[in-house]
Amino acid sequence: MNEPLNDQELQDKFRALYDKHAELLVFYACKFVDKAIAEDLVQDVFLNVWDKRSFLVWSANLSTYLYNAVQNACLNHLKHLEVKRRVLTKLKIEELYFTDHSVSFWQENKNLQSIYREIDNLPEKCRKIFTMSYFEERKSSEIATTLNISKRTVETQLYKALKQIRAALNVFR
């Protein structure tokens, strides 16, 4: 039976893995995103590999695992950019619509500011779940998988967030 690796051996094994794959993974990621983003995403993948010590478990298929992880990181990044673009476009359209109605625009703007302020006041975990659901338009099951929590926890957190936001908005009326 193999003895567990000491800290230095772990670091050496990880460094060798990084040196062997990092440059090629960045090159691969550059097919989908620009170089600076590619470097950040590859770095994040290696941090995750280090944190989970998955390089010790996946030794046989590690190259495939790393390429899949980088591909998924690129996909998630591009999805995030698309959602951000859609939200900004929607906000611009709403702003144009309300510009014609100055009185309702100012009231609506005040309401939106109140909503965003309340979203910022949510506890961190609750805010993240709320943002993923309402701004990124993710399903509860997807959020649960991403955050490694139960779907019921996601639903409970969404309920709490909406309850807090509604209560705050009733105070402003």
pLDDT tens digits in sequence order for the chain, 173 residues long: 456 677 788 888 889 889 999 999 999 999 999 999 999 999 999 998 888 876 666 566 788 889 999 999 999 999 988 888 888 787 777 766 665 555 555 666 677 777 788 888 888 898 899 889 888 888 989 999 999 999 999 999 989 988 888 887 775 44
1 in any annotated domain: no
CATH code of 148's domain: 1.10.10.10
88 in any annotated domain: no
Q: Is 10 helix (H, G, I), strand (E, B) or coil?
A: helix
What confidence score (pLDDT) does residue 173 get? 47
What confidence score (pLDDT) does residue 69 get? 92
83 in any annotated domain: no
119 in any annotated domain: yes
Domain count, the chain: 2
What confidence score (pLDDT) does residue 120 get? 86
81 in any annotated domain: no
Sign of CA dihedral 16, 18, 22, 24: positive
Please tell me the distance from the alpha carbon of residue 89 to that of residue 96, in angstroms, as a whole number: 11
User: Are 105 and 162 members of one domain?
Assistant: yes
Contact present, 129 and 136 (Cβ < 8 Å): no
pLDDT digits (tens, 9 = 90+) for 28-55: 999 999 999 999 999 999 998 888 876 6
Contact present, 129 and 143 (Cβ < 8 Å): yes
Q: Which domain holds residue 15?
A: 7-75
159 in any annotated domain: yes
137 in any annotated domain: yes
User: Are 66 and 125 members of one domain?
Assistant: no
What confidence score (pLDDT) does residue 170 get? 73
User: Are 117 and 167 members of one domain?
Assistant: yes
24 in any annotated domain: yes
User: Are 105 and 51 members of one domain?
Assistant: no
